[in-house]
């Protein structure tokens, strides 16, 4: 995903979220770049245990899974793990890759 596309998606999400509810102010959005070249945006809402991700031009909602250290979210062939060791993404048939925030 190039920078322009990220800005357009982010602006669209902001416009939709700004009118949705007061919880918009308690939303955390993070941009990630991964070792395999993948890029994604993930949002966490205060009253929602799920992670809302934009990857490969598609919106994916990931359910929170039981995980002993850190947080793990998965759904529709995507698994996102966030813990002290870092952030890891498993997407489709690709191998697990390390990701960093932009």
* Alpha-carbon distances, residue 39 vs 18, 61, 71, 76 (angstroms): 24, 16, 19, 17
Q: What is the pLDDT of residues 8-34, one digit of tens each?
A: 465 555 545 544 555 455 789 999 999
pTM of the entire structure? 0.74
Quick check: 28 and 44 in contact, CB under 8 A? yes
Residue whose structure tokens are 């929602």: 48
Cβ burial, residue 97 (10 Å; 0-12/13-18/19+): middle
In the chain, where the domains are located: 3-101
Domain 3-101, CATH class in plain words: mainly beta
Q: What is the pLDDT of residues 87-102, one digit of tens each?
A: 999 999 999 999 999 9
């Amino acid at each position: 995903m190039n920078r322009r596309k990220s800005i357009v998606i982010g602006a669209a999400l902001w416009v939709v979220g700004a009118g949705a509810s007061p919880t918009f102010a308690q939303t955390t959005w993070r941009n990630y770049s991964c070792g395999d070249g993948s890029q994604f945006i993930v949002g966490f809402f205060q009253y929602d245990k799920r992670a809302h991700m934009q990857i490969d031009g598609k919106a994916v909602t990931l359910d929170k899974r039981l995980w002993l250290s850190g947080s793990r979210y998965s759904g529709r062939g995507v698994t996102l793990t966030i813990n002290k060791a870092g952030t890891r993404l498993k997407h489709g048939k690709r191998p697990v890759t390390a990701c960093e925030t932009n």
